[in-house]
Amino acid sequence: MWSVFNFFFLIGSAPLNVVYFGIFFTVQLAFTLVSAGYFLTADGFTEIAAAVNTAGGAFAFASGMLGYYTVANLMCQEALGFNFPMGDTSRFFKKKLH
């Protein structure tokens, strides 16, 4: 369920910047791998499930690090007046004019 829900956030983050897209992409992989690990455990493949869950945890850690980068950017922007490079992707997406 969370994988499906997160997929919409992933699509929505594409025109924002690379860091936000990276957060939702790594969260997507983490949710998908952890849920696959549970299915593997239910089917009796416990060794493979442990490896898949470890990979899911690694992607969750990566999304956490990208989240810290985003928070550091916001804090430095507010307190110190400079931005970290976030990788603007808006130039690849056309905006609809109403």
Tell me the pLDDT of the chain (98 aa) as tens digits. 889 999 999 999 999 999 999 999 999 999 999 999 999 999 999 999 999 999 999 999 999 999 999 999 999 999 999 999 999 998 888 877 77
Number of domains the chain is built from: 1
CA–CA dist 2, 5 (Å, integer): 5
Is residue 91 domain-resident?
A: no
User: Which region holds residue 44: left if phi is over 0, alpha if psi is between -120 and 50, else beta?
Assistant: left
CA–CA dist 13, 90 (Å, integer): 10
pTM to 2 decimal places: 0.88
Is residue 82 domain-resident?
A: yes
Is residue 96 domain-resident?
A: no
Residues spanned by the domain of 42: 2-86
Is residue 94 domain-resident?
A: no
